[in-house]
Structure 1
């Protein structure tokens, strides 16, 4: 999130959604405040696309849908984010083609301007979405993926992969990613 871009009074959810329909810049929404999103670097975009491509291939023939950074996630009644990648396996949000709810996997690729928000605020928000089984925080600068995941006991755990390795994701079913796939071509 680069800069605050709200009027002097907080926006309602309805006002935010109407603003986003005609906005030339995407905004995330947190409790009435909007935050303009900066563009992504080549590395950021390629990492996101590598992950989304692998997940899309795994989703074929399943009810899961893979979204990239132009699809909003309604993370709570008063929070909308634009994750870099998310997977949703439930039915589409009825009557709301502009956002999704209930993802099973959320991915954020770190940027210098968003790193602290991705690691703190978004982690807490995503952990409180019952459908989320994993949240991946992916570094641009080094081969590192922080995997925050819900264990079988419902408790959240963290595992980091650095340089090499593979890790499971909760959806699409029976899917793993490798660091070689995440960082392919970089």
Structure 2
């Protein structure tokens, strides 16, 4: 998602720090706009372009279909679910795979995210490849971070290595191996054939 200048969005143009509960209560009152919380401050998410929405939907569908076929205790969730990075930062990836016990119906955060996906847009490139890359891998259970390109066909797959480092592959065809949870999704399914 693209981030907007909060001064143009909030009634009070002065930025304000919020705790997680305060932010969630405030965000529920904001009609027609979505926000992430970064360093304790709300950051508006811009409307999506059609290409972004299409690719995001296909990624979620591919993950959902594959996980249902695979069986097990993981589920794919579309955007809107929060991934809590630390006490001051909460992101909303374009898709997330959560494993373990099912998330309660009234929950707003993934309890055990293993895969997070961001679909890149011109306005989010720096955040998705910098701050979010760092943030997502601070969450111990996250093993895979997929950055899906929109300007051209390609997926940047960051994977937590056994030694604690991050391995990166850039793929434009074939399958993306995601273990855990032991699945693979085809890039053709993301971009259409």
Q: Scaled by the length of structure 1, what TM-score is found?
A: 0.90
**2:170 is aligned with 1:160:** yes
- Answer with 116-125 or 28-37: which moved more: 28-37
Task: After superposition, give the CA deviation of every residue in 1:91-133 in whole Å (9 maximum; x if it has no partner).
Answer: 3566961222331000000011111000000000011111011
**2:5 is aligned with 1:3:** yes
**2:153 is aligned with 1:150:** no
Aligned Cα root-mean-square deviation (Å): 1.9
Q: Secondary structure at the match of 1:56?
A: helix
Question: CA 1:64 to 1:114, structure 2 compared with 1: closer, same or farther past 3 Å?
Answer: same
1:79 shift after superposition: 0.9
1:63 to 73, 76, 87: 73
The residue that corresponds to 1:89 in the other structure is: 99
Contact persistence 1:73–1:80 (CA under 8 A):
yes
- Answer with 136-145 or 91-100: which moved more: 91-100
Q: Secondary structure at the match of 1:99?
A: coil
**2:39 is aligned with 1:31:** yes
Give the distance between the partners of 2:105 and 2:73, measured in 1 at CA. Answer: 19
**2:113 is aligned with 1:111:** no
Unaligned runs of 5+ in 2: none
Q: In the comparison of the two structures, how many residue pairs are matched?
A: 183
Give structure 1 regions of 4+ aligned residues with deviation exceeding 6 angstroms: none
Contact persistence 2:66–2:184 (CA under 8 A):
no
Unaligned runs of 5+ in 1: none
Structure 2 counterparts to residues 112-151 of structure 1, below 5 A: 112-151=122-161
Contact persistence 2:75–2:97 (CA under 8 A):
yes
1:154 shift after superposition: 2.8
Contact persistence 1:92–1:100 (CA under 8 A):
no
**2:53 is aligned with 1:45:** yes
